[in-house]
Structure 1
Amino acid sequence: MSLKALGAKIFAKRIRKKINKWASNPLKTQEKVFKNLLETAKNTQFGKDHDFQNIKTYSDFAERVPIRDYEQLKPYVDRVVNGEKDILWPGKPLYFAKTSGTTSGAKYIPLTAASMPTHINAARNAILCYIEETGNAGFVDGKMIFLQGSPEMDEKNGIMLGRLSGIVAHYVPKYLQRNRMPSWETNCIEDWEEKVDAIVEETVDQNMTIISGIPPWVQMYFEKLQKKTNKKIGDLFKNFELFIYGGVNFEPYKSTFEKLIGRKVAGIELYPASEGFFAFQDSQKEKGMLLQLDSGMFYEFVKADEFFNENPKRLTIAEVEVGINYVILISTSAGLWAYNIGDTIQFTSTSPYRVVVSGRIKHFISAFGEHVIGKEVDQALKEGADAVGAMVNDFTVAPQVNPTEGDLPYHEWFIEFQDTPENIGALSQEIDNALRGQNTYYDDLIEGKILRPLKITIVPKNGFNDYMKSIGKLGGQNKLPRLSNDRKIADALTAMINK
């Protein structure tokens, strides 16, 4: 065993002990975070506007600080972007993480000196927990790749801005710099396809042991490697041990990845966003990701089916239950307050608090009152694909409210396959049955002849990449929405398919 691997094992034990300490005292941990956030920000403009000075309890906070999304917080953010200090958090941010907005155009998410370390430490701790649990540390001597956005940044009123993954690239510790790939020059390539081609050339003959990125983009990398070498990824990289991923549910990609790799590889799921690093998989034996309760973020939750009520009840972690779909709200050391990041989660455990991401509060289908969510379509597709041996590259689902053929409305599933199954009808039935088993509203609509069973539309190979490229969102942290309650994406895909 190398000195580096031995050191990693010793460090892993120390970090795991620290994690266990706060994870075993969740309510006290969150109470401490809550008080520190309010005390630190009480003299900011936001703190003065919301009377932080006189907030003594969580009830006081919920009464004074309403739930906001980016558009609602934007008047404050705009002042920060314009160079004002002490608006949402003391001083000015270190960075803005620039992301794609909806109604507001580009979004500028502040990253502060207090919040930045939580992004870095969480990713590190995920790997250390894997080492501590499994005893495997040899991979630290190999090469590691993180498929990410360009680390090049712009400046806005004295504050650097860029993509989160590019900002984080500046914080790779020195002891990993020799192992890290691709090169800085390659990482700066903006065109995603050109970038992946360059990464293939740089890594094809290297001892790759850790590969990390959003599954569809890693899949593109694997496919290009396989095309170049005519080898399974597991044969090409014989010491490849760990796949680290986040951003989308990995389950629909699992069978395709296993075929591309040619063997099983351990995985670690992460839950990062520009607004914060919320959770990571701390165990290979337990379901869900450990919620980061000691990382300068105070969490609130609202039941998803109550979220659009006039005054939805807000809950702390002391009040949540396993298996319920919640909208997650955060207040952070970057100056976001009762902030709706748009995700829905479910708890798999409350001792310790572990979560899975179930979807997006705006990404659902309820054209007929069925309220189908992301977790349900992911699971239905996995069950259906496993039943018929299909391998999926990517997919999205939308309602067809007015079928041209005069039939009943239905859900249309746009699926790109690794190899198109012989019996699409059998796959459709399996997916539909699995979805009906999870969602009683959908089942009732099928049973009551309000909807017909789902229809699969086959997307040609690379069709989703072509679509993402057409809207300027190929690669990086960009993700295809799994669900839409309208036909915007569906109609664009249909037009591309029918060309």
Structure 2
Amino acid sequence: MSIKAFLAKQFAKIIYNKTQKWANNPIETQEKVFKSLIQEASLTQFGKDHNFHQIKSFSDFAKNVPVRDYEGLKPYVDKVVKGQENVLWKGKPLYFAKTSGTTSGAKYIPLTKESMPFHVEAARNAILHYIHETGKADFVSGKMIFLQGSPVMEEKNGIQFGRLSGIVAHFVPKYLQQNRMPSWETNCIEDWETKVNAIVEETFDKNMAVISGIPSWVQMYFEKLKQKGGKPVGEIFKNFNLFIYGGVNFEPYRAKFENLIGRKVDSIELFPASEGFFAYQDSQREKGMLLLLNSGIFYEFIKADEFFNENARRYTIGEVQLGINYVLIISTNAGLWGYNIGDTVQFTSLKPYRVIVSGRIKHYISAFGEHVIGKEVEEALKEAMENTTVRVNEFTVAPQIAPKDGLPYHEWFIEFENEPENMEDFILKIDSAMRKQNIYYDDLIVGNVLRKLVVTKVSQDGFQNYMKSIGKLGGQNKIARLSNDRSIADKLV
């Protein structure tokens, strides 16, 4: 065992013990975060506008601070972007994480000196929990790569901005810098395809041990590696044994990845966003990710099926239940208040609090009242693929409400690596899995409102070409699993 691996194990134990202290006292931990946030922001413009000086409890907060999305908070954000101080949080932010919005154009999410450290610590602690639980630490002596956005920053009114992953690149600890790849110059390449080709050339003969990124884009990297080397990625990188990912469910990609790698590797799931780092997989044995209750974020939860009701009830951590689909609402030390990030979660454990990401509140299919969510389609596809040679590169689902003949249906657009031997049987397996999970969908099938789903095959690289056509190839961009209209579907065929 190297000195580096030995020290990593010792550090992992320290971090694990620290985590246990707050994870075993979740309600008290969140109360401390809540009081701190209110106190720190009481003299900001937002705090004054929403009577922070009178807020003594969560019920006071809920009465004074409505749930908002980016559009609702934008008048305040615009002032921050113009360089005003003490608007949403004290002083000015360190950075803006720039993301693409649907209705508001570019979105500027503030990152402050209080919030920024948690983005880095959470990713580090996820790895340390893995080391503590498994005892595996030799990988810390190998090379590590994170497929991310460019770290090149721009500036607006004295505040730098860029992609979150690029901003985080500026905060990689010194002890990891010599092991980290790709080079700064390669990381700064803007064009995604050019960048991936450069990363392949730069890493091909290196001792890669840890690879991280959104699965769909890591898949492109692996395919190019395999094409260059003429052998599986696991033979090119013999010490590669840990894949770290976030942003999407890995299960639909797992079979394809194991084929590209040539063997199974351990994985760690993360739940990061520009608005905060919310959770990470703290155990290889338990389902779900540990919700980070001590990271400067106060969490609220609204039942997804009640979210669009007027005055929908807002739940705190001590009130949530297992298996219910909740919209995640946050208030943070970056100045986001009662903020709807758009993600839905379900709790898999309450001791400690662990979650899975079940989808997006805007990404669903309910053209007929079926309320289908992302988790359901991912689980159905996974079930249909089990014990088969089927491999899927990418997929999305949309309703077909006006077919040329017959009843309406859900249309699954799938880019196969390996197609099913019997497509009809494959379709029936998916449909059966959907009906077991979603009683509304089952009722619509039984009542002859919908017919069973249809699979439409997407040509090779069809999803990549679509993402390229809308300027979202690579980086942290990902395809929507579900649409309630045909906006994506009609561009894939």
For residues 8-59 of structure 1, what are the alpha-carbon distances to aligned partners after superposition, in whole Å with 9 as ceiling and x for unaligned?
1111100111000000000000000000000000000000000000100110
Match of 1:484 in 2: 483
Structure 2 match to 1:451: 450
Question: 1:226 and 1:435 mapped to 2: Cα distance?
Answer: 35
1:407 CA drift (Å): 1.0
For residues 174-199 of structure 1, give each alpha carbon's deviation from its aligned partner in whole angstroms, at most 9, with x where no partner exists.
11111000011110111101100000
Q: Name the residue aligned to 1:392.
A: 392
Tell me if 1:328 matches 2:328: yes
Paired residues of 1:96 and 1:111 also in contact (CA < 8 A): yes
Q: Which residue of 2 aligns with 1:497?
A: none
Answer yes or no: is the 8 Å Cα contact 2:139–2:209 preserved in 1.
yes
Q: Deviations over 1:359-386 (max 9, x none)?
A: 0000000000000000000000001122
| Aligned residue in 1 for 2:304 | 304
Distance 2:479 2:463 in 1: 8
Residue 465 (str. 1) matches residue 467 (str. 2): no
CA deviations on 1:133-191 (whole Å, 9 max, x unpaired) are: 11111000000000000000100000000000000000111111110000111101111
Residues 68 and 339 of structure 1 are in contact (CA less than 8 Å); yes or no, is this contact kept in structure 2?
A: yes
Q: CA deviation at 1:263?
A: 1.0
**1:108 aligned counterpart, secondary structure:** strand
Q: CA, structure 1 residues 387+240, in 2 after alignment: closer, same or farther (shift >3 Å)?
A: closer
Which string of whole-angstrom CA distances, capped at 9 and with x for unpartnered residues, describes residues 197-221 of structure 1?
0000011111000000000000000
The percentage of counterpart residues that share the same residue type is: 71
The answer to whether 1:474 aligns with 2:482 is: no
Cα distance in 2 between the residues matched to 1:423 and 1:99: 42
What TM-score comes out, normalization by structure 2 length?
0.99
* Residue type at the aligned position of 1:445: L
Q: Distance in 2 between matches of 1:420 and 1:10?
A: 47
Q: For each residue in 1:412-461, what CA deviation from the matched residue of structure 2 results, as whole angstroms up to 9, or x when unmatched?
A: 00000112223221111110110011000000101111101000000011
Within 1, Cα distance between the matches of 2:233 and 2:490?
35
Q: Is the 8 A contact 1:414 1:457 kept in 2?
A: yes
Is 1:318 matched up with 2:312? no
1:416 is matched with 415
User: Which amino acid letter does the alignment assign opposite residue 252 of structure 1?
Assistant: P
- What does 1:122-201 correspond to in 2, within 5 Å? 122-201=122-201
TM-score by length of 1: 0.98
> In 2, are the aligned partners of 1:388 and 1:427 still within 8 Å (CA)?
no
Show the counterpart of 2:237: 237
After TM superposition, give the deviation of residue 262 of structure 1 in Å: 1.1
What's 1:117 paired with?
117
**CA–CA distance in structure 2, aligned partners of residues 198 and 287 of structure 1:** 36
How many angstroms does 1:234 deviate by? 1.1
Q: Distance in 1 between matches of 2:467 and 2:420?
A: 24
Q: Which residue of 1 aligns with 2:361?
A: 361
Q: Deviations over 1:250-271 (max 9, x none)?
A: 0100111111111110000000
SS in 2 for 1:5: helix
Q: Distance in 2 between matches of 1:93 and 1:346?
A: 31
SS at match of 1:488: coil
How big is each residue's C-alpha offset from its partner over 1:260-301, in whole Å with a ceiling of 9 and x where there is no partner? 111110000000000000000001111100000000000000
Shift of 1:487: 0.4
Q: Secondary structure at the match of 2:488?
A: helix
The letter of the residue matching 1:484 is: S
In the aligned structure 2, how far is the partner of 1:231 from the partner of 1:9? 33
What secondary structure is seen at the aligned counterpart in 2 of 1:110? strand
Across the aligned residues of Structure 1 and Structure 2, the Cα RMSD in angstroms comes to 0.6
Shift of 1:91: 0.2
CA deviation string 1:371-415 (max 9, x = no partner): 0000000000001122543111000000000002x2100000000
1:292 matched to 2:292? The reply is yes
Instruction: List runs of 5+ in structure 1 lacking aligned partners.
Output: 495-499
The CA distance in 1 between the partners of 2:436 and 2:390, in whole Å, is: 20
1:451-481: per-residue Cα shift (whole Å, max 9, x none)? 0100000001111000000000000000100
CA contact (8 A) 1:307 1:327 kept: yes
Secondary structure in 1 aligned to 2:386?
Answer: helix
**Within the alignment, does 1:274 sit opposite 2:274 as a pair?**
yes
1:85 aligned partner: 85
Is contact 2:143–2:209 with CA below 8 Å preserved after alignment?
yes
Deviation at residue 235 of structure 1 after TM alignment: 1.1
- Secondary structure in 2 aligned to 1:21? helix
Query: Deviations along 1:228-260, whole A, 9 cap, x unmatched?
Result: 111111111111111000000001001111111
Which segment is superposed worse, 235-244 or 118-127?
A: 235-244
**Structure 2 counterpart of 1:217, one-letter code:** W
Q: Which runs of 5+ in 2 are unaligned?
A: none
SS in 1 for 2:195: helix
| CA distance in structure 2 between the aligned counterparts of 1:342 and 1:367, rounded to whole angstroms | 19
Looking at structure 1, the residues matched to 378 and 128 of structure 2 have their Cα atoms a distance apart, in angstroms, of 29
Aligned AA (2:354): R
Counterpart of 2:26, as a letter, is: P
In the alignment, which residue of structure 1 is the partner of 2:220? 220
* Aligned partner of residue 130 in structure 1, secondary structure: helix
1:376 & 1:35 partners in 2: Cα distance?
A: 37
CA contact (8 A) 1:24 1:352 kept: yes
Contact 2:389 2:418 in 1 (8 A): no
CA distance in 2, matches of 1:450, 1:234: 48
Distance 1:388 1:451 in 2: 28
